Amino acid sequence: MNINLKALGNVTEDERMTKKMIVVSGPSGAGKTTLVKYLMEKLPRLQFAVSATTRPLRGDEVNGRDYYFLSEDEFKEKVKLHEFLEHEEVYEGLLYGTLKEEIKRCWDNDEIPVLDIDVKGALNIKLHHGDYCLFVFVHPGDIYRLQERLKHRGTESDASLKKRLARAEEELNYSQEFDVVIYNRSLESASHELLERVVHFLNDEMSSTQL
Which positions touch ligand 5GP (CB under 6 A)? 28, 32, 51, 55, 86, 88, 90, 96-98, 116-118, 121
**115: which strand partners?**
23
Task: Using alpha carbons, list the distances in angstroms from residue 160 to 18, 47, 51, 109, 123.
Answer: 39, 29, 20, 37, 24
Which C-beta is closer to ligand 5GP: that of 151 or that of 200? Answer: 151
Residue nearest ligand 5GP (C-beta atom): 121
Phi and psi for 50 in degrees, rounded to 5?
-75, 125
Number of residues assigned to the chain: 211
Amino acid at 99: L
Q: How far is the CB of 89 from ligand 5GP (least distance, A)?
A: 9
Exposed (0-12), middle (13-18) or buried (19+): which is 14, by Cβ within 10 Å?
Answer: exposed
Q: How far is the CB of 112 from ligand 5GP (least distance, A)?
A: 17
Residue from 83, 52, 82 nearest 68 by CA: 52
Which C-beta is closer to ligand 5GP: that of 91 or that of 211? Answer: 91
Which C-beta is closer to ligand 5GP: that of 14 or that of 60? Answer: 60
Q: How far is the CB of 88 from ligand 5GP (least distance, A)?
A: 4
Which C-beta is closer to ligand 5GP: that of 138 or that of 205? Answer: 138
Q: How far is the CB of 77 from ligand 5GP (least distance, A)?
A: 16
